[in-house]
Amino acid sequence: MILVTGGAGFIGSNFVLDWMREVGEPVVNLDKLTYAGNAANLASLEGDGRHELVQGDIADRALVERLLAGHRPRAIVHFAAESHVDRSIHGPAAFVQTNVVGTFELLDAARGFWSKLEGAERDAFRFLHVSTDEVYGTLGPKDAPFSETTPYAPNSPYSASKTGSDHLVRAYHHTYGLPVVTTNCSNNYGPFQFPEKLIPLMIANALEGKPLPVYGDGLQVRDWLYVADHCEAIRVALAKGRAGETYNVGGNAEKPNIDVVHAICDALQEMKPRPGGYRSLIISVPDRPGHDRRYAIDARKIRAELGWSPRETFETGLAKTVRWYLDHGAWVAQVKSGEYRRWLELNYAARSTQ
């Protein structure tokens, strides 16, 4: 069996569901179930004895050690993280606590567990750490994409905290020999994404006829990765990745944010027409502090070494995503809780439109 942390969040829950379909190996799923962790994401696994959801904190060393001793996983797949840049600007302490302190506690517990394994069990064990391209900083319009050897240059409290976690993972391999693999991914999108991130926020607002707030000129460029492709990449990296190595995971889909919003509006208009269309809802709001201008991923290493490349284009992935949100209105309504509304008030209401 494997231990997954943060497996009720957006990417984590998609990974667990994908894992159960494609592999079927038992999973113990440790998630704090904060605003972004949602047990409803895993409703289809209710009653499945192969999946156990444990509510708890990765920084709770005693809990982690009990789970390791009781279940003896052959691998840990570590998703648990605070991951929203805007939230990190308003409240960086939680990001340091979860992403740095939490990862340290998890790593150290894993080291203690692994050090007692013997023979084939010890050789086969892996700690897979899921990280982000944001640790590399920002790129100019003509700069080469991020590679695994790009120097780290984080520009937000979120990316700085993920940088700290990446460095701890690397150090635990080089100092103690813990067999780690790190993946650094680009912007994910798809089912179950908490609707404060760009794509689900735009879909949710558009369907309610609310403004679609775009930061600044909207020309910030991101590489977009459909979450199912990311989950497959993680499975491949866990199965075949070399201990101590890092693999960048990208979607081959660089897009300015304004083009992404236009594509969402057009997809919605095709699937659920609105008089006058959805583009008329787009507004510009003041940019967020320290907003990185461009991210781009060079994913040649994972393609060459492990044989992975994305299956979805941005167009096919976005169509699947929009259709999923249209078909799961009850899920969207459930997650748009008081916490979600408080966040929108904090982050957007104070921004005067331009």
Q: Which residues are tagged catalytic?
A: 133-134, 158
Residues in the chain: 354
Report, in this order, helix, strand and coil percent for the chain, each rounded to 5. Answer: 50, 15, 35
Radius of gyration of the chain measured on its C-alpha atoms:
20
User: Which secondary structure element, helix H or strand E, spans residue 185, and what is its range?
Assistant: strand 180-185
Phi–psi pair at 212, nearest 5 degrees: -105, 95
Strand blocks (E) in 286-335: none
Report residue 291 as tokens.
């907003």
Neighbours of 341 (CB within 10 A): 10
Residues 6+ apart with CB under 8 A from 88: 82, 95, 156, 157, 158, 161
CA–centroid distance for 74 within its chain? 23
Whole-angstrom distance, CA of residue 226 vs CA of residue 250: 9
